[in-house]
Amino acid sequence: MDNFENQNNTSDIGNDDITSGHDDIREETPNGDFNDSAAPFSPDNTGVDINYYPESAFKRIEPDFEKEPDTGKTKSGGLRIFACFLALILIFTVSCTVCYNLGKNKKTDSELYRKTEMKVYPKPANTDEMSAQEVYDKINDSIVGIIVYSDDGTASQASGVVYTENEYVLTNDHIYASVPSPKFKVFTSTGEMYDADYVAGDTISDLALLKVKGAKGLKAPQFGDSAQVQFGENVVAVGRPGDARSPSSISTGIVSNPCRRAQITSNYTVRMIQTDCDIFEGSSGGALVNMYGQVIGITSSKISSDAGTSIGFAIPAKTVARIVPQLSSDGKVVNRAKLGITYTEITALEAELNNSKYTGLYITAVSEDSDLAGKVEKGSIITHINGNEIKRAETVLDIIDDSYANDVIKLTVVDEKGNSNELSVKLKANIGESSYSTEKKEVESIPSDDSKNQENGKEFNFPKGD
């Protein structure tokens, strides 16, 4: 097998048994005794043998001209058996109903991880685009300024987007990374100032949620479906660069790439909307807005060059829709999936240069909690996922990004001897953590130019394992 050891990139490419019992039913003879030789019930798969009739209840009566004297005893055996028969039917019916409802309501392991997501809206049909001024007027009350500070004097500032009216505000997780035991002041479009509490954050998505105390005038915007974003689409970025207390600023531009993998921390890349809108310092957590006044992304970072040009990135609204409800309900992201391997990407070019027959992911390590642990070895190559040939790592990353913890994917793996195996692999939960801390810590910097992202011939480094 070819050697890809020195090209490491990594990834967290992250029925009830119903048993029916049946009592023996014995026939009662006319003199009150029980006939043990009477045939017992022998239910079929439905639990009731509709072709069986108790003999004492439906026995043919032959003419008897020598009538026996009346002894005064009541011949009740047939009635008892008939009553038992009806009781069994009733019990069976109730049991089936209960089991059906339990089975109907019982969720699979994967379904348990599917959380309620925030609604995103399509672009309005048969509607002209607004001007930049009209978009600003529509979105302005939904943008806030945020000052992050601590008792030791450390401070930073950022922007935010209203998530729910007069209560929750969205921003980036990185805004408080360098501020120990951070506190928050939120400034509205009218200049009102409110205290806010940290709710939850997530470093991988770079999203965070704050709860504003006693706020008024905070208007939640409409979030647009970022899956509809197109190359070259006109957009604006709105935020509070420079001074969180000042009115929001607006910059215009286009969507350079609606779905580009960008490095948010040193360990992970995520799908982002790339734009040439100016995203200045202090704009982190602001809004990227389409020309219908819909928020399609949360501005997060930029890459600047010595020539003064920059590339801006925004977290897609579809990502916001999945992540933020979990931050609100669970305090962390719980359903994000990972594969749990360290790998080197083998593109067609790299396969040719290394005389490899395969493109895909060359496995350099498998984490202990991965479902692949014990199933594959170092040096194996994952060549297909869900039947799709892996020509770029993005093929795998995108499928896993769209999956949930406990979802099962299909992988084709070729070992070092050239043997190919088809594996069903359950994805594990990639539980989120936050930059929020009561202790001061170093901030992971984002690369300042493209050259730092191309050390191994890649545009960006890929997510790392555990």
Residue 194 in domain: yes
Quote the pLDDT of residue 57.
34
Asked if residue 255 and residue 330 are part of one domain, the reply reads yes
Strand 269-275, strand 249-263: pairing: antiparallel
Cα 65 to Cα 31, 61, 85: the distances in Å are 20, 12, 33
**DSSP type of residue 5:** T
Asked if residue 284 and residue 137 are part of one domain, the reply reads yes
Of the residues 75, 105, 135, which one is the last residue of a structural domain?
105
Asked if residue 173 and residue 319 are part of one domain, the reply reads yes
Asked if residue 311 and residue 239 are part of one domain, the reply reads yes
CATH of the domain at 250: 2.40.10.120
Asked if residue 324 and residue 223 are part of one domain, the reply reads yes
Spatial distance between the Cα atoms of 246 and 145, rounded to a whole number of angstroms: 8
Residue 57's domain spans which residues?
27-105
* Predicted model pTM: 0.72
Asked if residue 34 and residue 173 are part of one domain, the reply reads no
Place of tokens 């040193």: 266
Quote the pLDDT of residue 158.
96
Residue 157 in domain: yes
Residue 195 in domain: yes
Cα 443 to Cα 31, 431, 446: the distances in Å are 94, 20, 9
Name the domain count of the chain: 2
Quote the pLDDT of residue 362.
96
- Could you give the residue ranges of the DSSP H alpha helices within 336-380? 348-353
Contact 290, 310 (CB under 8 A): no
Asked if residue 44 and residue 132 are part of one domain, the reply reads no
Spatial distance between the Cα atoms of 81 and 85, rounded to a whole number of angstroms: 6
Of the residues 71, 105, 139, which one is the last residue of a structural domain?
105
The dihedrals phi and psi of 159, each to the nearest 5 degrees, come to: -120, 170
Quote the pLDDT of residue 268.
73
384 catalytic residue (yes or no): no
Spatial distance between the Cα atoms of 401 and 335, rounded to a whole number of angstroms: 11
**DSSP type of residue 404:** B
Residue 313 in domain: yes
Q: Which of 173, 206, 225, 371 is catalytic?
A: 206
Cα 98 to Cα 15, 107, 418: the distances in Å are 13, 16, 52
Asked if residue 101 and residue 119 are part of one domain, the reply reads no
206 catalytic residue (yes or no): yes
Q: Which of 156, 173, 174, 249 is catalytic?
A: 174
Residue 47 in domain: yes
Here the tokens at position 219 are: 């208007």
Quote the pLDDT of residue 104.
52
Measure the CA angle with vertex 267, ends 266 and 271; round to 5°: 95
Q: Which of 284, 367, 380, 435 is catalytic?
A: 284
Asked if residue 322 and residue 270 are part of one domain, the reply reads yes
Of the residues 105, 133, 149, which one is the last residue of a structural domain?
105
pLDDT tens digit at each of 466 positions of the chain: 556 655 555 555 543 333 333 344 344 444 444 444 434 433 344 443 333 333 433 333 333 434 445 554 455 566 777 666 677 777 767 666 655 555 555 455 445 455 578 899 999 999 999 999 999 999 999 999 999 999 988 899 999 999 999 899 999 999 999 999 999 999 999 999 999 999 999 999 999 999 999 988 899 999 999 999 999 999 999 999 988 999 999 999 999 999 999 876 656 789 999 999 988 888 999 999 999 999 999 999 877 555 556 789 999 999 999 999 999 999 999 999 999 999 999 999 999 998 889 999 999 999 999 999 999 999 999 999 999 999 999 999 999 999 999 999 999 999 999 999 999 999 999 998 999 998 765 544 444 333 333 222 223 222 333 3
Asked if residue 237 and residue 183 are part of one domain, the reply reads yes
Residue 353 in domain: no
Quote the pLDDT of residue 412.
97
Alpha carbons within 13 A on the beta-carbon side of 222: 13
Asked if residue 123 and residue 93 are part of one domain, the reply reads no
Residue 212: strand, helix, or coil: strand
Residue 299 in domain: yes
Place of tokens 């029925």: 15
Quote the pLDDT of residue 142.
96
Asked if residue 203 and residue 63 are part of one domain, the reply reads no
Spatial distance between the Cα atoms of 344 and 217, rounded to a whole number of angstroms: 51
Closest among 356, 339, 340 to 348, alpha carbons compared: 356
174 catalytic residue (yes or no): yes
Residue 193 in domain: yes
